[in-house]
Amino acid sequence: MKYMLWLTVFTLVMACAVPVVAAQEVFPATLTFADAVNLMLENSIALQIAELNLEIAQIDYEKAMAANLMSSSQQSEMQAKHSLERAKNSYRTARQNSYLELFRAYTDVLAAERTVEVRELELIVAEHDFTVVQEKVRIGDAGKLDELSEMNRVEAARRNKSSAERALSESQRVLNRLLGLADSTSLTLSPELPLPKLELSLEECVEIGLSNSFSLWDQQYSLTLQERQLETAKIEGTPPIDLKRAELNFQIAKLNLAQEEANIKESITSSYHSLGEALARYESAERDWEIAQDTFAIYQRQAEVGLITDIQLLQQKVSLLNAQKNLQDALVSYLNSYIQFHHTIGLDGSIQ
């Protein structure tokens, strides 16, 4: 009987514990950018609001079309479709902005982590140099001013390290908020990012951009509307002065459409060339990184045979990390341009 009582208690305890474990958020050991995107899509309040607004716009469109069944007004139908397309464009823009914001927050954390690592090594070097100067002062090989100068270097290195750590904490909080996580949530981010390359020609990009442009579609809608209003004015026998005004509005709509098309072509062309320049800068940084690795390998061999000290090797490690940071910064700059360019031509620009 006592055994059955304990078995019942144990079963109840385990049954209560299961939901607690299931409710805990589980993250992969290393969070990739693709994982971060999935989390954002699940938890983003801004995107949830955008989705609800799109649903409302769809309902309004269906109501407008149903109300138009009796009159069969083409203008009312056009206006309803225009409102729906505007809502769809707002939703696409919200998704694109959220994606780009997440990418920047994710890479800001990676950059801040690298900066902290560099600042920690710089502090170690500064403290070592300060200790050496203190010994020189003790034996009379250096003066008090030398000691004060090195002390200032150490304090500056400590401030730089503290500043880098604060920047890292803030970057992590920003990322967590975008992911819908608590500020205190600890994440380990993967530094691995892809290097997608644009396979389209400039002419193809311009064609895609023009076909996907909502602003161009909007101007075309305005032109069609002005044309219909002009035709209506002619049919209804509008006074000459009002007819002239309708004709001028129609001409303005035509010019606005032509200007918008020219602006889009110019924007795509400029962004296309900027993307190529960003890729060239990354490739240059990649070569610098290879040089830095080879140089550090030489210093490592020198340290192994006793030609340089450990602190001198550490100084070279700082140079290596700076070269790595420059490479990563160049990659992030290129990817940022890559994503924005795809948004310019109306594509998602996904890199994960």
**Predicted pLDDT at 71:** 76
- List the end-to-end C-alpha distance of the chain, in Å, as a whole number: 60
Q: Identify the structural domains of the chain with CATH numbers, from first to last.
A: 33-185 (1.20.1600.10)
**Predicted pLDDT at 2:** 36
**Predicted pLDDT at 13:** 36
Place of tokens 């055994």: 3
- Mean pLDDT by runs of 10 across the 352 residues of the chain is 38 39 56 96 93 95 86 82 94 96 98 97 96 92 91 97 98 96 94 95 98 96 91 88 92 96 98 98 97 97 95 95 96 98 94 85
State the Cα–Cα distance between residues 208 and 214, nearest whole angstrom: 12
**Predicted pLDDT at 73:** 78
pTM, 2 dp:
0.85
**Predicted pLDDT at 10:** 38
**Predicted pLDDT at 20:** 36
- Of 37, 191, 4, 49, the C-alpha closest to 107 is 191
**Predicted pLDDT at 6:** 39
